[in-house]
Amino acid sequence: MKKLIFLISLLLIAYSSYGAIVPVENDSFETATNPPLDSSFDSWYEEGTPSGITSSTTQKHSGGRSCRFTNPTTSYSARGVKSFQINVTGGEIYKVGVWGYLKDENALAYDPNISWLWVSIEWFNSEGNPSTPSQNPSSGTAFSSFAIWTEFSTSNITAPSDAVYATVYIRCKETSNANNDIFVDAVFLEDSQQPTQPGDVVINEIAWMGTTTSATDEWIELYNTTDEEINLTGWTLNATDGMPEINLIGIIVANGYFLLERPDDDTLPTIPADQIYTGALGNEGENLELRDTSSTLIDSVDHFPEGWGAGDNETKQTMERIDSSWKNSIEVGGTPRQQNGSVTTIITITNWREIY
């Protein structure tokens, strides 16, 4: 019994950290005004012709009702509904979907793939203005069969950083007027942000000594070791002595870099920063900790009794991570946004000699 309880607890923890369903009000169209004669669904707005949008109790994926689009036209704008505001978090990764059912009204006179369903999401900022990109995706998907409930969903979509709420759109059309009815039910918005593991993002290079221009021009480079982009918003990069203390904001692309510069974006004039931070790194060494939104330790840097593990304050060679060790950069100034240990060498050959 104890093992069973423990297993259930683990499953609940895993579900809460990945694939959590974001509440969509009246997701199964259970609540409507005078159903099925009126198409006014609570928490949903009509798009297009109201008479072509009703509730149904005959075809449903779950619950007691679904939303029915009768006689779709050749335009998405004629048949559709959109949700009320749904709270989201900027920078998070989401997937939106709905279950669709195609009813054949013409005894197989038409193929099911003339009927299309389009589910999309539009993002809005705190001022109520559309975020950029405002709506994803830009087109729909054709049905592949009649009389089978089929999931229609987007791929993973990253909400714009300033998004605070979203609206879900469900639209349908037919490329030929077959007058088939389309039913939709069980709308879902899923937070698809995968839980991070230690080592998914690493502290990759540190210019604790500054640059040849100024000792205060410090920078830190993070590297994403995975094949998926990771939202760093809500993560922290802190020194255990309290300075610097950085609250990260932004996305680090798959197998890509995230560059932090101090005190401004002129630290590396030709390379743009992803984020500006304050708080100097001590030349005698720091213990740095990179933690995700759940405060899980993702990576860390420990200093040695003699100071930093690598880097040179005189030559301004940076401290680079090579495999599991720290080494001085080959080039003065390091390799921001480049593979560590790399060096650009131009060889010019001016004299040739034939060898027999």
Domain ranges of the chain: 20-191, 201-332
Model confidence pLDDT, tens digit, residues 187-234 = 999 987 778 899 999 999 999 999 999 999 999 999 999 998 888 988
* Alpha carbon distance 36, 22 (integer Å): 27
CA dist 148 and 275 (Å) reads 49
Question: What mean pLDDT, rounded, does the chain reach?
Answer: 86
pLDDT in tens, 76-104: 988 999 999 999 998 888 999 999 999 99
Contacts of 57 (CB under 8 A, 6+ apart): 35, 36, 64, 65
- Rounded (5°) CA angle 231-236-242: 170
CB atoms within 10 A of CB 313: 13
Beta strand 257-262 with 275-276: parallel, antiparallel or unpaired? Answer: parallel
Task: Show the tokens assigned to 163.
Answer: 């998004």
Q: What is the band of 351 on the pLDDT scale with cuts at 50, 70, 90?
A: low
Tell me whether domains 20-191 and 201-332 share a fold.
Answer: no
Residue 278 CB coordination number (10 Å): 10
Please state, in angstroms and rounded to a whole number, the distance separating the CA atoms of residues 268 and 80: 50
Biggest CA–CA distance in the chain, Å, is 97
Structure tokens belonging to residue 311: 């880097």
With bands split at pLDDT 50, 70 and 90, how would you rate the model's confidence at 12?
Answer: very low
Are the C-beta atoms of 131 and 162 separated by less than 8 Å?
A: yes
Class in CATH terms, 20-191: mainly beta
d(CA 268, CA 221): 12
Which position has the higher pLDDT, 109 or 145? 145
> What pTM did the predictor assign?
0.59
Exposure pattern of 126-164 as b/e (b: 16+ CB <10 Å)?
eeeeebeeeebeeebbebeebeebbebebeebbbbbebb
Whether the bond between 195 and the residue before it is cis, its omega within 30 degrees of 0, is no
Confidence of residue 303 (pLDDT cuts 50, 70, 90): confident
User: Residue 38: what pLDDT?
Assistant: 57
Residues 6 or more apart whose Cβ sits within 8 Å of residue 249: 91, 161, 232, 233, 275
Highest mean pLDDT, choosing among 32-41, 69-78, 103-112: 69-78
Domain 201-332, CATH among 2.60.40.1260, 2.60.40.1180, 2.30.40.10, 3.50.50.60 = 2.60.40.1260
